[in-house]
Amino acid sequence: MGAKAKKAMKKILKKATSTKPSSSSINKSEAPDYLPLEGGPARKLPEQKPLESAATVLYIGRIPHGFYEEEMQGFFGQFGTVKRLRIARNKKTGKSRHFGFIEFQSPEVAKVVAETMHNYLLFEHLLQVHLIPPEEVHPRLWRGFNYKHKPIDSVQLERGRHDKERTLEEYNKLVEKIVKRDNKRRKRLEAAGIDYECPAIVGNIHPAPKKIKFED
């Protein structure tokens, strides 16, 4: 290659390098979100702050026997102010169903309780403590939360049902049901091949009891 050709090649290379945009000329607003290959300054993304939880209600599961409202109030009251507390109970017996809900006044306290008391060993039970988001709290969750449950006395109810005054028609219907139930029992015994003589129902033969109301 001659001297003239070399000079021509140098001119072409200079023009090409002069038309290439430099990294400093690139608009910062149009800069990519990744590091450029040339090693220039990267674009800084805005810092995203974590959303603070506003949940104040906690679900507590696997509550052991003997750890009831008063005990829970005193135990969880060490963390902060307890607004409301409720343990699910059986309507008939009043026994604990081993789960409940507690509400604190401060969301920060509720978060600390959820983190520290989850899987906490208490009376050979691992407590299950979880935060409930405000939108998932049932509107009737705290209905009767301060109501001291009194279990239904089934014996007293049955005694009142048995001893109540009946009219003569009600008494005859009661005896009729007893006779039908006895006949079904006899048929089942015969179908099973059991030879047993059931005592006869003589309630309809006896005189009317004293607790029958007679119409005037």
CB-based contacts of 41: which residues, under 8 Å, 6+ apart?
A: none
**Chain-wide mean pLDDT for the chain?**
80
Look at residue 11 in the predicted model and tell me its pLDDT. 75
Cβ burial, residue 188 (10 Å; 0-12/13-18/19+)? exposed
Distance of alpha carbon 129 from alpha carbon 116, whole angstroms = 9
Q: What is the pTM of this model?
A: 0.51
192-211 mean pLDDT: 70
Would you list the domain boundaries of the chain? 57-149, 165-192
- Residue 200: pLDDT band (50, 70, 90) is confident
Rg (CA), the chain: 41
185-189 mean pLDDT: 89
Length of the chain: 216
CB-based contacts of 55: which residues, under 8 Å, 6+ apart?
A: 107, 110, 111, 131, 132, 133, 134
pLDDT at 112 over 90: yes
pLDDT at 26 over 70: no
CATH class entry, domain 57-149: alpha beta
